[in-house]
Amino acid sequence: MSIKVDIYTSGSGNWTKPTWAKLIRVICVGGGGAGGNGSVASGTSAASGGGGGGGAGRIERWFDAADLSGTESYSVGSAGSNAGGRQGGNSTFSSGSKIVTAYGGGGGSDGATGTVASAGGGGAGLSGAGGNASGATAGTAGANGGANGGAGSAGGTQSNLGGSGGGGSPAAGSAGNPGGASIFGAGGGAAGAGKAASVTAGGAGGQSRMAQLDGAAGGLGTSGGQPPVAGFAGGRAPLGFAGAGGGGGGSTVTTTVNGAAGGNGGFPGGGGGGGGSCLDATAGLGGDGGGGVVIVISQ
């Protein structure tokens, strides 16, 4: 039996059906949300780290090849990024009224000074994208199976269908909270570390359980003029699965040392980690989400 696998990791275009195909399997994963940036606070003031991005959704469908046209359109969801929109894009495969869509995760909010927490982006569901966080308000869960982001707390865990929420950083400037784990969708990104009286660590990215991949632990900030450790990128998933969330960046209390960056979300669809906060320097940037993918298997 012949098998052909077409993998699209960016852009949009048309897929061509093999003339010999009998069954078509379509797997889509959306783009993960980006993590928020850390913040800067002078003196002894506390500051929260950036919130983690929400994980993308994953969907799979089988078609009788005879029900599809000779060419069908696809579009790959872009990764959420601090350079653009923080919400991840949707990945689609379209065949007339038969549209397969995997939704993107929401972006995390930036850290803030004083007593304001940051929040994580919402994880995508089967019927809707995860919402972006705003200030201390967590991103909402995507419809039909997503998970909420954490408002100064750990990201929501999705035990069944969709992507998981990103973690938030507490207002008191303590360690960042972890992103939520997911079985079928992508893991949420962790929050970056807040600035407190001493250095603190970013949280751990959410696990992508279907692929048995752990999100990477966040970096621990260091003092004495040494740079804090950036959050590690989330684990990359095997073909057809969804990625883990990125770790949060560490903080620092040294005036000349920047906060650490959050880790990027694992490919495909993992949420990015939040950036770490700092004292009188430059805050860490939030990590990008993992990009989406469209996979078409003909047999």
- pLDDT value of position 32: 97
pLDDT at 144 over 60: yes
| Beta-strand pair 23-29/293-298 | antiparallel
Q: 2 in helix, strand or coil?
A: coil
CB atoms under 10 Å from CB of 94, counted, come to: 15
pLDDT at 222 over 80: no
Please state, rounded to an integer, the average pLDDT across all residues of the chain: 89
Which range has the worst mean pLDDT, 101-115, 159-173, 189-203, 251-265?
159-173
- pLDDT value of position 91: 98
Which range, 211-220, 225-234, 284-293, has the best average confidence (pLDDT)? 284-293
Per-residue pLDDT of 247-258, as tens digits, reads: 888 888 888 889
Non-local CB neighbours of 105 within 8 Å, separated by 6+ positions = 30, 31, 32, 33, 53, 54, 55, 56, 57, 80, 87, 88, 121, 122, 123, 124, 129, 130, 142, 163, 166, 186, 188, 269, 271, 289
- pLDDT value of position 159: 57
- pLDDT value of position 224: 58
- 24/167: higher pLDDT: 24
Q: What is the pTM of this model?
A: 0.94
Continuous segment of H or E residues that includes residue 6: strand 4-8
